[in-house]
Chains A and B, each alone.
Chain A
Amino acid sequence: MKVRLKYSKTGLLRFLSHLEVMRVLERAIRRAELPMAYSQGFNPRPRIVYGTASSVGLASETELVDLVLAEDIPILEVTKRLNAVLPSGIDLKSAILLPDRAKPAMAITQASEYRITGQGDAVKVMNGLETMVGKTGFIVARQKETRTKNIEVGSMLIEFFVKEMECGRMELILRLKDSPAGNLRPAEVLKALNAYFDAGLEVDEIIKTKVLTSTNGTMTPIL
């Protein structure tokens, strides 16, 4: 039986790395005594398939993980048992049954949606986003251990919405490429807006809100 779970990562637990979240889930699954299926071989591992990695410090309303269970149990039982043992900060939001042949979440994820609240020049932000979308040449450096990678912000910016609020405050919704082949982080878009368009953006909060796949040309939430 295959199950896809959607969980949130909020509060102080947003500071967990992806590996640390994986361990929290794995131990919670054990405490919940879910009848997991295990991999074969020398070092059997419970069959848990994680979605795309979320960076340290990023709060998220949607993280995906797929479980393969050895026995059929009601979905409500899965969520009930898990929520009883998960630490607060990692909370199960919903769960669905998957067909056995379903592709794992990571394979079908193409983008993630983020909600950003902050202060700055909304006109410049709007202008900047319109200029960058789909174009190359807007580069932000990403530090990876010892190497630096150049990120093409424009080519991974898929969709955006800017909502102006009072006193220079605004809310941005950004849909950014997020797949094993490449990903764009919201902070990188904000950096590009400040560097190339002088947007003067100061961020209050960034939250990942949705994980998306492309269905007939449109981006839709996976769960």
Chain B
Amino acid sequence: MNELSEQIEAMLDKVSKPSRYIDSEINAVHKKWNEFPRRVALVYPDIYDVGLPNLGLQILYRLINDRSDWLAERAYLPWPDMISALQEHSLPLFSLESWRPLEQFDVIGISLQHELTFSNIPTLLQLAHLPVLSRERNSTHPIILGGGPSAYNPEPVADFFDALIIGEAEEAISEFLDALSGFPVLNGHRDELLRRLTEIPGIYVPGLYTPKYDNGIFVDLAPVDDGIPDKVTRRVVADLEAWPILDEPIVPYADVVHDRSSIEIMRGCSRGCRFCQAGIIYRPVRERKVEAIIQAVAKSIGATGHDEVSLASLSSADYSEIEMLLETLAKTADPQRVTISLPSLRVDTLSVDLAKRIGAVRKSGLTMAPEAGTQRLRDTINKCVTDEDIESAVAKAFSSGWQKIKLYFMIGLPTETEEDILGIAKTVRRIRHTALDHAPKAKHARISITVSVSSFVPKAHTPFQWHGSNDLSTLLTKQDILRQELRMSHVRFKWHDAEQSIFEAALARGDRRFAKILAVGASEGLMLDAWSDMFVWQRWQQIFTDNGIDLEQCACEEIPTSRRLPWEHIDSGISREWLIEESKKASQGQVTADCREICTGCGLCPGLGVDHVIRVRT
């Protein structure tokens, strides 16, 4: 292959799970380096096990490789033992397909999925032997591009990036690559190129904006001159059907977090749960055609050999023809012993047929997300699920043969009281009772209810973005209460580390000052913060304090709506007034309708010239 090959191969003998670093997975694309003059390295800032299944990165990988002028390879963060081995031998971070140093690529595209991966960004740039800050790089360095859901508040990592794509990247990535191809010689033209990129809708070049602070509080972010737009508006793919479903996903050798094929059945969600950023940033709902899905599922089974296909979307049970889709899929999947699964189920319309259809071949666990423990709080967050809905859904599931169920709840939501916390336990108790009532006695021993409780993190562009998270001691107290209350047979309580949640919240609301500080932590070896055995809260807290930022205060602050937020230059298409209105309704316990039924006036569709694409209207 190239000069690194021998050395990397020698390391594989000495590191854990070497299969993570082996190329040539089934359905990976291997183009000849010398035949393609322009090259992109697509990087997921976490280890292979987490990054490989990510659909967004795989979609872009295929799109770019389908071009005749560009080549795309992938890279993931190595596990710490491999990182040490690389550092020991002064070897740089390499791509998977050809084991080439990342610095040899023209573009390095990094996916921003989750705030707890943010410290992995300076880590991987350092590993790639690249200057970590955009302003320290010159035209001998690759263009560092970002994208993905967390790009909606890119400010905490903005200094690392030369450019970011805000929103859905299918169309924008082509425009971006075309703009680069149009620059015959990169040398000396870097500033010109970055300025040219700002002309592409949805592309944000942080270096051309200057932040202003007043007494340690962010007050403004302004473009450096009139030639740069005030706001960057997200991209939406209005006609999703024009972009074929990814039906040949890469099959990893290593055991990864989701070892199955994921087929995208729709994008967007119209429910309007007030804490949920995904619901905002992926509007409007665009359902794919049934025929296209069926073909994609069949193709992926043949192309991968997986025994499970997941119908992926934010809320798959909301797909308007879900029952018909599952019936049709069962005809080919069942004889092949392939399970069709849904990532999670809507609690309120789980029909007996749907319950039976999913997992007809084998019953993996069912997942439901009531989120809050009382009707009052559920209405506040606009997740309008009633106790009767939950009861009947659980009854149907367990009488249909299910034995395992996973329930998601959240603590620390705005307006939450102790009654709401105890409500979680009450709900779980009722669910357990219903499960045991409806499952045949012989199966009782196998019944397992996993209760997974995360902590509310205020996310940019949501109605709750002005609310703070609970502070650390409150979260720990609430977790203690639940630990006591959920002590019952058949029930397993899992909780998210409170310190990780605070860190996440601080990063979710962060501004331009954060990147440099993250780089300091990365130099010390702080990384993989999403992994609880790698995360060192005390160190991060200290480093941020040394640099003038109190992480807990950042996370917990109730921000007045009069203040400008660090991400307001990113236009999600949703009006600020609507978000404030939703926040007010929340405090009054008022619900908002599902916007596929009646327009709730968020401003997105008229503003961006898009609309819901729903197959069957009821």
Contact = CB atoms under 8 A, between A and B. Distances in A.
Contacts of A149: none
A27 interface: yes
Nearest to B254: A20
Given A20-B255, A42-B362, A46-B337, A15 B19 contact: yes
A38 interface: yes
Contacts of A87: 24-26
A19 B362 contact: no
Contact of A57 (B12, B25, B253, B305): B12
A19 B255 contact: yes
Contact of A27 (B9, B306, B337): B306
A28 interface: yes
A73 interface: no
B535 to A, nearest CB: 23
Nearest to A32: B305
B47 interface: no
**Residue of B9, B23, B24 ringed by the most chain A CB atoms within 10 A:** B24
Contacts of A42: 362-363
Given A20-B253, A42-B362, A12 B305 contact: no
B18 A56 contact: yes
A19 B13 CA distance: 17
B9 A30 contact: no
B361 interface: yes
Given A12-B24, A27-B251, A20 B307 contact: no
A57 B306 contact: no
A217 interface: no
A131 B188 CA distance: 71
Contacts of A26: 305, 307
Nearest to A90: B253
**Residue of B13, B305, B307 ringed by the most chain A CB atoms within 10 A:** B305
B337 A24 contact: no
A133 to B, nearest CB: 28
Contacts of B18: 15, 56-57
Contact of A29 (B302, B303, B305): B305
Q: Contact residue range for chain B?
A: 20 to 34
B306 A44 contact: no
Given A16-B253, A27-B251, A43 B305 contact: no
Nearest to A21: B253
A30 B307 contact: yes
A26 B305 CA distance: 8
A80 interface: no
Interface in A7-57: 12-13, 15-17, 19-20, 23-24, 26-31, 33, 38, 42-44, 46, 56-57
Contact of A30 (B13, B24, B305): B305
Contact of B22 (A13, A23, A38): A13
Contacts of A43: 362
Interface in B19-71: 19, 22-26
Contacts of B575: none
A31 B304 CA distance: 7
B140 interface: no
B174 interface: no
B16 to A, nearest CB: 9
Contacts of B19: 15-17, 20
Nearest to A57: B13
B448 to A, nearest CB: 14
Contacts of A28: 305
B328 interface: no
B9 A12 contact: yes
Interface string A113-139: 000000000000000000000000000
A31 B253 contact: no
| Interface pairs A-B: 3 shortest CB-CB | A27-B305, A30-B305, A15-B18
12 contacts: A12-B9, A13-B22, A16-B22, A27-B304, A27-B306, A30-B305, A30-B306, A33-B302, A44-B362, A57-B12, A57-B18, A85-B305
